[in-house]
Amino acid sequence: MTSPVVCETRVAVRYAETDAMRIVHHASYIIWFELGRVEYMKQIGSDYAAIEHSGHFFAVTEVGARYLSPARFGDTVKIRTWLDEVRSRTLVLRYEVRLEESDRLLATGFTRHVCIDGAGQVTAIPEDVRALLAATLNSAA
C-alpha cells in the first residue's frame, strides 16, 4: 500500500509564541504550518525560493485549523506535513502538530493555495513542480 510523503519538522516552542498563560497562541500554529510547508518542499527536492525566482508564487486562499490540546512554552512539537491534492493551478496541504515527547495530537489543519504569477494573475503550476508534487501523492511513506 502506498501513501503520501510526510515531512516531519521539529520546533521548540518559544516564549514569544505563547500567551500570558504560557500556552501557544492559536496564530502560531498557522506559522508552524508555513514552516512545515517550506520544509516539505525542500524534502521532496524543490524549494519555495527557486519557485518564486521563476516568477511563480503559491498564494494561500484558505486556512483551517482544529485545536485539540495545548502546547506550552518549553515543549517541542513536530509538524507533520503532506500533500493532499494537486491540480493544474491549485494544491492543498494537510498538517498535524504533535507533542514530541508523547506524540499527543495537538492540532490538525490544512492550507489551500493557488499558483499566481508576479502580477498576481492565476497561472498553472510549472509542469516540473506539479509533476514532482504529484509523484509525492502515491509514494511509499
CATH of residue 62: 3.10.129.10
Instruction: Quote the domain boundaries for residue 108.
Output: 6-137
pLDDT digits (tens, 9 = 90+) for 33-73: 999 999 999 999 998 888 999 999 999 999 999 999 999 99
Question: Does any domain span residue 40?
Answer: yes
Chain segment 63-109, per-residue pLDDT in tens: 999 999 999 999 999 999 999 999 999 999 999 999 999 999 999 99
Domain count of the fold of the chain? 1
**Percent composition of the chain: helix, strand, coil (DSSP 3-state, to 5):** 25, 40, 30
Q: How many helices (H) and strands (E) does the chain have?
A: 3, 5
pLDDT digits (tens, 9 = 90+) for 3-27: 689 999 999 999 999 999 999 999 9
Whole-structure pTM value: 0.92
Is 1 domain-assigned? no
Answer whether 54's CB lies under 8 Å from 70's CB.
Answer: no
